[in-house]
Amino acid sequence: MSQINIIENPSELGAGTRGASLGIGALQVVARQRKDDFFGKYERFLVQDQNDMLDFPTVYPFAKRIDGLAEVYQNTVDIVDFVVKQNNFPLVLSGDHSCAAGTIAGLKRAYPTKRLGVIWVDAHADLHTPYTTPSGNVHGMPLSVVLGLNNHECASNVPNPNVVDMWEELKLIGGSSPKIEINDLVFVSVRDTESPEDELIRRYGIRNFEVPEVREKGTDIVFQEIKNKLKDCDLIYVSFDVDSMDSILVSKGTGTPVENGLTPEEAESLMIQFATWDKCCCIEIVEINPCLDNKVNRMAEVAFDILSKCVNTLEKRL
Q: Given the rule CB under 5 A, which residues bind Mn ion?
A: 97, 122, 124, 126, 241
Beta bridge mates, 118: 185, 237
Question: What's the angle, vertex CA 309, arms to CA 315 and CA 316, rounded to 5?
Answer: 20
Half-sphere exposure of 313 (CA within 13 A, CB side): 20
Nearest approach in angstroms of CB 156 to Mn ion is 21
Catalytic entry in 49, 124, 128, 284: 124
Nearest approach in angstroms of CB 96 to Mn ion is 8
Q: Would you call 78 a catalytic residue per the annotation?
A: no
Q: Would you call 241 a catalytic residue per the annotation?
A: yes
Please identify, using beta-carbon distances, which residue of 84 and 245 lies nearer to Mn ion: 245
- Is residue 300 within 8 Å of residue 288, measured between CB atoms? yes
Which of 243, 12, 227 is closest to 125 using CA atoms? 243
State residue 59 phi and psi, 5-degree precision: -100, 5
Nearest approach in angstroms of CB 255 to Mn ion is 8
Catalytic entry in 8, 67, 81, 241: 241
Q: Would you call 243 a catalytic residue per the annotation?
A: yes
Please identify, using beta-carbon distances, which residue of 64 and 124 lies nearer to Mn ion: 124
Please identify, using beta-carbon distances, which residue of 84 and 271 lies nearer to Mn ion: 271
Q: Would you call 128 a catalytic residue per the annotation?
A: no
Sheet holding 4-9, edge to edge: 43-46, 4-9, 89-94, 280-286, 235-241, 116-121, 185-188, 207-209
* Burial tier of 156 (Cβ tally within 10 Å: 0-12, 13-18, 19+): exposed
Please identify the residue of the shown chain whose CB is closest to the bound Mn ion: 97
Instruction: Report d(CA 220, CA 109) in Å as an integer.
Output: 32
Please identify, using beta-carbon distances, which residue of 81 and 122 lies nearer to Mn ion: 122
Please identify, using beta-carbon distances, which residue of 197 and 241 lies nearer to Mn ion: 241
Q: Each residue of 125-154: b (16+ CB within 10 Å) or e?
A: bbbbbbbbbeebbbbbbbbbbbbebbbeeb
Catalytic entry in 49, 67, 243, 293: 243
Q: Would you call 139 a catalytic residue per the annotation?
A: yes
Nearest approach in angstroms of CB 236 to Mn ion is 18
Instruction: Report d(CA 69, CA 138) in Å as an integer.
Output: 9
Catalytic entry in 96, 97, 268, 301: 97
Q: Would you call 232 a catalytic residue per the annotation?
A: no
Catalytic entry in 126, 197, 246, 301: 126
Instruction: Report d(CA 105, CA 146) in Å as an integer.
Output: 7
Nearest approach in angstroms of CB 107 to Mn ion is 18
Nearest approach in angstroms of CB 198 to Mn ion is 16
Beta bridge mates, 94: 9
Please identify, using beta-carbon distances, which residue of 97 and 171 lies nearer to Mn ion: 97
Catalytic entry in 246, 287, 293, 301: 287
Tell me which residues are annotated as active site: 97, 122, 124, 126, 139, 241, 243, 287
